[in-house]
Amino acid sequence: MGSTTVTVGFKGRREDARLLTGQGRYTADWNQPGQLYAAFLRSDHAHAVVRSIDTGAARAASGVLAVLTGADAVAAGFDRGAAMMPVKGRGEALRVPPRPALATDRVRFVGEPVALVVATTAHHAQYGAELIEVAYEALPAVADAAGALASGAPVIHASVPGNLCFDFDYGDAAATAAAFAAAAHVVRLTLTSGRVVGNPMEPKAALAHWDGDVLDLWTSTQGMTAFRDSLASQSGLPAERIRIRARDVGGGFGIRGPAYPEHMALALAARITGHPVKWVASRGETFLSDYHGRGLVMTGALALDAEGRFLALRHEWLADQGAHPVATGPLINTLNPASMCTGCYRIPAVYGRNRLAITNTVPITAYRGAGRPDMAYIVERLVDEAARQTGIDRIELRRRNLIPREAFPYRVPAGAVVSEYDSGDYRAALEQALAEADWDGFSARRAEASARGRFRGIGCAVFVEPSGGVVPKDEVAITFDPDGQVVLHTVVTSNGQGHETVYPEIVARVLQIDPARVRLSAGDPEGPRLEGGGAFASRSMMSHGAASLVATREVVEKGRALAADALEAAVGDIEFADGAYRIAGTDRVIELTALAGGGALDTTTGLAATRAFPSGAHVAEVEVDPETGMTEVVSYTAIDDCGVVMNPTLLHGQILGGLFQGLGQVLGELCVYDSDGQLVTGSFMDYAMPRADMLTRFSIGDSCVPSPNNPLGVKGAGEAGTTGALPAAMNAVLDALRPAGVTHLDMPASARRVWRALKEARAGAA
């Protein structure tokens, strides 16, 4: 249970040689004999009535074999909306309007698929799409959540009055009100977590092919079962007649979880033409149609007593859901953040209300962190603000209020939202991060920066987040190749996490053999039939990793009885070590794999993955150039409790990737719509993706408290970097700017915004 700091050192992963030499197999790499190519015609209106669609010229164009419109989608029954929301809100269920694979009489966001052209080449399909004439009648559009809920706003779906698709609350309103009434200090902040675009390296792509009445769909996905079920619920196709095929996936981030209308349209096109149909999105289509993330306006209020003890918290969130509630969008804006609504602090009362609005924009779903970075962000900015207002040092204020190690399991006072932090030592992580970041030496560094004309700031964040999610059971199977290779089968496929490296290591550790003797077979529809979820909510280690451990132990026990028979000894006399059984005290040995013939050791095991709560303490240090507003993260320290560390290289790679994704949002990423619903940031020219030089000095360490909730003791790491980065880095930016009179700033701290904030502060002071 000790704490260790591990300096990041990169050791190769098993999949790297394949992936780095162009031998990865992404969706676009799959082909089927006789395949055709598709192109989508997308709406260029944010909100319009579709009066008519003339497909005549397109159908007559060279190479074009079919043109599909919304009428085809409706005729096929591919027109159901789908969004996950297991609870009711304030008396009403989530409103999910129907959603055809292709728009019918109305378009509701720029980029919405309107027609699909199938042709002999991708270029012919694209050319055909340009020949389609759509008669639109423009309607007033609304591109922001507050505007959508305002009276008189255009109604986007007849079945969603006032554009409010879900109204949710949690906690104890009365207790919270009483605590606020008795408070010595009340701190209030309204912050945005702006809309961002996931932008996986691999754009959305699919190859649809009907094998009789079974749909084979090659596509990039975070989980074949969730994807299959998502496609089934939107299309009405029975799940057992859908086979999702994915090998390598070039990034997930939440947005590769669900099936999209494009997938349904391609399935339909393959059925109608009788040919496999392939489509690979352009980067422009990624911006226009991959579901976006965040899109929040959050108001938080913290009540403190005279000694700085936290008494109560109040949250009020306004979440933009885009033109349709989809996939986990509603969940991640309600239950996910509510499960961590008091952050790492002992706060007796909390009340939160989340309103989810429909707007004329791309729908929103989970995006790395999925509501958690936002909650960590508002809580940790409130704590810094409380420190400023009360005059209590911001670290001291945190020390006073952190949940102590002996208080676990800790039940969050979120009312009907049941959430119990499993384990942690937040104070230890904080102290470790402060030491590693040389927090106490900051004033000298600030003075030195000041002498160079730069504003230097330091910020910290302590955070906790639920990981795991909602899958009842995750199964893995172990089989044996005739040549003695152990094969681990999982339903989960990697979208960059290094499963090929780490899952075999878990099996090999139990068997005490070289991991090279274990091979991962992930997501093979022809492999053993397995139930289970995919890679989301930082879960694939606690779910499939833990199941691999349990399954391998079962294999060893099965083998023990067989070994006893083979060696003609009592089971009690059989020892297992180094992949072999031995009669204790003798040299009579038999290899485990020698007993595996005829499937004798084949094992399928399922595990119900229980949530865990990874946590961490991060410190960011930034410098701002007041002449340009350019903000640079000069150093970053991340101390994370992801539970037991399975493979430090992969763990720290996850943390680092998460940091970049969080810092991307802090420093530059923002998806902007005009008030009329036109997407302004539709390419990398306008949308500032983070680059490798954004963070060059960093230290990533572990402060491990094992989770009691799974056999590996792991907690998940995929989203921790992002969750910590938002509050830590923005607190640092504010710390840099406050001496210059800036009291408030929203993400991203882009040069333009920072420069303007400094200018306004100077004008205000003058």
| Residues of this chain that bind ligand SMO (CB under 6 A) | 222, 252, 254, 257, 366-368, 370, 536-537
Q: Which is nearer to ligand SMO, 280 or 470 (CB)?
A: 470
Task: Name the minimum Å distance from CB 258 to ligand SMO.
Answer: 10
Residue 748: is the preceding peptide bond cis (ω within 30°)?
yes
Q: Which is nearer to ligand SMO, 67 or 537 (CB)?
A: 537
Q: How far apart are CA 250 and CA 270, in angstroms?
A: 24
Q: Which is nearer to ligand SMO, 366 or 737 (CB)?
A: 366
Q: Which is nearer to ligand SMO, 254 or 662 (CB)?
A: 254
Task: Name the minimum Å distance from CB 368 to ligand SMO.
Answer: 5
Bridge-based pairing state of the strands 474-480 and 486-490? antiparallel
Task: Name the minimum Å distance from CB 535 to ligand SMO.
Answer: 7
Q: Which is nearer to ligand SMO, 129 or 535 (CB)?
A: 535
Task: Name the minimum Å distance from CB 417 to ligand SMO.
Answer: 17
Residue nearest to ligand SMO (CB): 254
Q: What is the DSSP letter of 321?
A: -
Q: Which is nearer to ligand SMO, 370 or 592 (CB)?
A: 370
Task: Name the minimum Å distance from CB 723 to ligand SMO.
Answer: 11
Q: How far apart are CA 129 and CA 39, in angstroms?
A: 7
- In 3D, which of 352, 252, 332 has the Cα closest to residue 86? 332
Task: Name the minimum Å distance from CB 84 to ligand SMO.
Answer: 11
Q: Which token pair is 80?
A: 């159901």
Q: How far apart are CA 537 and CA 548, in angstroms?
A: 19
Contact 723, 463 (CB under 8 A): yes
Q: Terminal CA-to-CA distance of the chain, rounded, Å?
A: 55
Q: How far apart are CA 166 and CA 96, in angstroms?
A: 9
- In 3D, which of 322, 295, 365 has the Cα closest to residue 110? 322
Bridge-based pairing state of the strands 242-245 and 214-219? parallel
67 alpha-carbon distance from chain centroid: 35
Q: How far apart are CA 475 and CA 491, in angstroms?
A: 7
Q: Which is nearer to ligand SMO, 370 or 725 (CB)?
A: 370
Task: Name the minimum Å distance from CB 365 to ligand SMO.
Answer: 8
Task: Name the minimum Å distance from CB 138 to ligand SMO.
Answer: 34
Task: Name the minimum Å distance from CB 337 to ligand SMO.
Answer: 12
Q: Which is nearer to ligand SMO, 331 or 550 (CB)?
A: 331
Contact 675, 755 (CB under 8 A): no
Q: Which is nearer to ligand SMO, 40 or 660 (CB)?
A: 660
Q: Which is nearer to ligand SMO, 63 or 251 (CB)?
A: 251
Task: Name the minimum Å distance from CB 611 to ligand SMO.
Answer: 12
HSE at residue 759, side-chain half, CA atoms within 13 A, is 9
Q: Which is nearer to ligand SMO, 326 or 580 (CB)?
A: 326
Task: Name the minimum Å distance from CB 470 to ligand SMO.
Answer: 11
Q: How far apart are CA 4 and CA 702, in angstroms?
A: 6
Q: Which is nearer to ligand SMO, 194 or 252 (CB)?
A: 252
Q: Which is nearer to ligand SMO, 169 or 374 (CB)?
A: 374
Residues 6 or more apart whose Cβ sits within 8 Å of residue 763: none
Task: Name the minimum Å distance from CB 254 to ligand SMO.
Answer: 3
- In 3D, which of 660, 545, 543 has the Cα closest to residue 608? 543
Q: Which is nearer to ligand SMO, 275 or 294 (CB)?
A: 294
Q: Which is nearer to ligand SMO, 468 or 504 (CB)?
A: 468
- In 3D, which of 505, 508, 504 has the Cα closest to residue 522? 504
Residue 239 to residues 235, 245, 443, Cα–Cα distance (Å): 10, 14, 60
Bridge-based pairing state of the strands 518-522 and 486-490? parallel
Residue 409: is the preceding peptide bond cis (ω within 30°)?
yes
The letter for the amino acid at 326 is V
Residue 130 to residues 127, 263, 272, 511, Cα–Cα distance (Å): 5, 21, 21, 59
Task: Name the minimum Å distance from CB 321 to ligand SMO.
Answer: 15
Q: Which is nearer to ligand SMO, 222 or 635 (CB)?
A: 222
Task: Name the minimum Å distance from CB 721 to ligand SMO.
Answer: 12
Task: Name the minimum Å distance from CB 726 to ligand SMO.
Answer: 14
CA diameter of the chain: 93
- In 3D, which of 658, 725, 656, 652 has the Cα closest to residue 461? 725
Residues 6 or more apart whose Cβ sits within 8 Å of residue 41: 113, 114, 115, 116, 117, 129, 130, 132, 134
HSE at residue 280, side-chain half, CA atoms within 13 A, is 12
Task: Name the minimum Å distance from CB 538 to ligand SMO.
Answer: 7
Q: Which is nearer to ligand SMO, 163 or 709 (CB)?
A: 709
Q: How far apart are CA 128 and CA 71, in angstroms?
A: 18
Task: Name the minimum Å distance from CB 377 to ligand SMO.
Answer: 15
DSSP alpha helices (H): ranges in 407-543?
426-436, 442-451, 499-511
Residues 6 or more apart whose Cβ sits within 8 Å of residue 696: none
Q: How far apart are CA 626 and CA 736, in angstroms?
A: 10
Residues in the chain, total: 766
Task: Give phi and psi for 126, each to the nearest 5.
Answer: -65, -45
Contact 315, 382 (CB under 8 A): no
